[in-house]
Amino acid sequence: MTRNDDSNATRERKPRQYRTNRRGFLSRAGAAAGLVAVTGCLAEDDGTDAVPAFPRVEDPPEAVYVPTHREAMRVLEPLEAGEYTLASMLSYPHPFWLVDGTETVPVEPDSDLGVHMMFTVWDEATGTVIPLDSGAEIRLERDGEPVGTPRLPWTMISQEMGVHFGDNVPLESFGTYTVEVSLPPLGVERTGALAGRFTDGGRATFEFDYDEAFVEEVVGGVEYLDEAVWGRSGALEPMDHAGHGDSQHHGDDHHHDDGHNHHGDTGGHAHAHVPFSALPASGDYPGTHLLTADGAYPQSGDATFVLTVLEAGSRFADERYLLVSPRTPYNRVPLADMALDVRLERDGTTVQRGPLEQTLDDEFGLHYGRALEDVEPGDELTLTVETPPQVARHQGYETAFLRMEPIELRVPELG
């Protein structure tokens, strides 16, 4: 055992590079069997619960659940990119899940070197967070040289962050990186104040320092929750994006159109005001709401569905309009990239059937809609989820919104 002072030596050194050799890994047979042996052994020996190799929620419910921890991240100043406003948030590389049909595909980082890079994109004028896959593209540079190949981050949902674009971006060493983000024109149907907007793309560039201080901040800031709540039905509350990881949170209602404009705010103090993609509360939707027999909003796959029939002549259609707003429980995060189909039956005969169109509205956010030519009280309405939301998931959302049973409702007296 020695004691000495290694002074600043570590500060100068760059992180060592580790390149994964998956072929090598895969060739080591019997790994799974080994894992079982280890787990069993530990449990037997110390009499306490086995310590998992990767602490995780065992057997989570097929519902939104409380994850193991609260993520910490560095929030950078919002930027304008054409009509879009975006804020980037940086954390450490961590697992997430892709969705393939009704299955999930876990994604794990290859290396601890790098960042989990996230973007919230919104319309500053209306405060609407853009919850859709629109092909945001990122390119990294360091000292003017490209780093890796460009990438299109995934559309993701997380309990703390709501809808965002994100991906693990491997970096080989500490340094200052420049990121160019390109956003294409918005491909989705837009209504209200968003109609006719976002027809052009936008581009923004920012820099970040990947260094020890950053790692301290985002890894050191991780908060593990009491293990008693892991995996219970519930969710983390949305985070408030106070800038630069400072722990000052302001409790104001931060997800609506407060019209704040922080651009040009270069006064050194970071106060990134990033909206959270919460949909309006169910009660804020006009029209005749379709509820279950016991008067509740219908649910499927742990998502809550607000279904409302708007009167003819609304700004959505000349006829009556069916507006369907699926959202996560607790945090009201919109569920994008679903395929929904509606069928109306009267006396056992189908009177209308067809797909709903995904639409982004400044007032009602992301929803799925369709004009109803012929609807009467007493009609049986069946909403079928042909494809569950294909958005990627952070921990706590990956088991929900996958197996989604059809919703059957009776149309009440129409207002």
Window 50-69: residues binding other proteins (CB under 8 A): 51-56, 63, 66, 68-69
Q: Residues touching other proteins: how many (CB under 8 A)?
A: 145
For the chain, the distance separating the N- and C-terminal CA atoms, rounded to the nearest angstrom, is 81
String marking each residue 93-132 x if it binds other proteins according to CB under 8 A:
xxx-xxxxx---xxxxxxxxx------------------x
Smaller CB distance to other proteins: residue 346 or 357?
Answer: 357
Q: How far is the CB of 2 from other proteins (least distance, A)?
A: 5
Smaller CB distance to other proteins: residue 126 or 182?
Answer: 182
| Residue 46 interacts with other proteins (CB under 8 A): yes or no | yes
Q: How far is the CB of 413 from other proteins (least distance, A)?
A: 20
Residues in contact with 272: Cβ distance below 8 Å, sequence separation at least 6, in sequence order: 75, 76, 77, 78, 87, 241, 242, 243, 244, 262
How long is the chain?
415
- Contact pick of 84, 119, 122, 154 for other proteins (by CB under 8 A): 154
Question: How many C-beta neighbours within 10 Å does residue 81 have?
Answer: 20
Which window, 32-40, 78-86, 115-123, 372-380, contacts other proteins (CB under 8 A)?
32-40
175-183 vs 137-142, strand pairing mode: antiparallel
Q: How far is the CB of 29 from other proteins (least distance, A)?
A: 9
Question: Tokens representing 373?
Answer: 């030519």
The string of DSSP letters for 18-31 reads: ----HHHHHHSTTH
Nearest by Cα to 287 from 313, 253, 250, 257: 313
> Is 218 in a helix, a strand, or coil?
helix
| Residue 37 interacts with other proteins (CB under 8 A): yes or no | yes
Which window, 79-87, 338-346, 369-377, 407-415, contacts other proteins (CB under 8 A)?
338-346
What's the CA gap between 166 and 91, in Å, rounded? 10
Smaller CB distance to other proteins: residue 137 or 380?
Answer: 137
> Is 331 in a helix, a strand, or coil?
coil
Question: How many C-beta neighbours within 10 Å does residue 288 have?
Answer: 18
Cβ atoms 405, 292 nearer than 8 A: no
- Contact pick of 12, 30, 143, 144 for other proteins (by CB under 8 A): 30
What's the CA gap between 244 and 229, in Å, rounded? 28
CA 371 to chain centre: 29
What's the CA gap between 282 and 289, in Å, rounded? 9
- E-strand stretches of 12-111: 69-70, 74-75, 79-81, 84-91, 96-100, 103-107
What's the CA gap between 134 and 152, in Å, rounded? 9
Cβ atoms 254, 240 nearer than 8 A: yes
Considering only residues 226 through 285, tell me which ones interact with other proteins, judged by CB under 8 A.
226-227, 229, 232-240, 247, 249, 251, 253-255, 276, 278, 281-283
Residues in contact with 92: Cβ distance below 8 Å, sequence separation at least 6, in sequence order: 112, 115, 116, 215, 218, 219, 222
Q: How far is the CB of 262 from other proteins (least distance, A)?
A: 19
String marking each residue 306-325 x if it binds other proteins according to CB under 8 A:
--------------------
Considering only residues 196 through 235, tell me which ones interact with other proteins, judged by CB under 8 A.
201, 212, 215-216, 219-227, 229, 232-235
Q: How far is the CB of 376 from other proteins (least distance, A)?
A: 26
Q: How far is the CB of 348 from other proteins (least distance, A)?
A: 25
- Contact pick of 80, 82, 125, 137 for other proteins (by CB under 8 A): 137
| Residue 191 interacts with other proteins (CB under 8 A): yes or no | no
Q: How far is the CB of 114 from other proteins (least distance, A)?
A: 9
Q: How far is the CB of 250 from other proteins (least distance, A)?
A: 8
Smaller CB distance to other proteins: residue 263 or 410?
Answer: 410
Is the Cα torsion angle 136, 326, 256, 277 positive or negative in sign? Answer: negative
Residues in contact with 205: Cβ distance below 8 Å, sequence separation at least 6, in sequence order: 79, 178, 179, 180, 181
Q: How far is the CB of 357 from other proteins (least distance, A)?
A: 7
Beta bridge partners of 325: 306
Cβ atoms 120, 126 nearer than 8 A: no
Which window, 11-19, 120-128, 260-268, 311-319, contacts other proteins (CB under 8 A)?
11-19
Q: How far is the CB of 365 from other proteins (least distance, A)?
A: 13
String marking each residue 350-379 x if it binds other proteins according to CB under 8 A:
-----x-xx---------------------
- Contact pick of 128, 287, 292, 310 for other proteins (by CB under 8 A): 292
Smaller CB distance to other proteins: residue 227 or 318?
Answer: 227
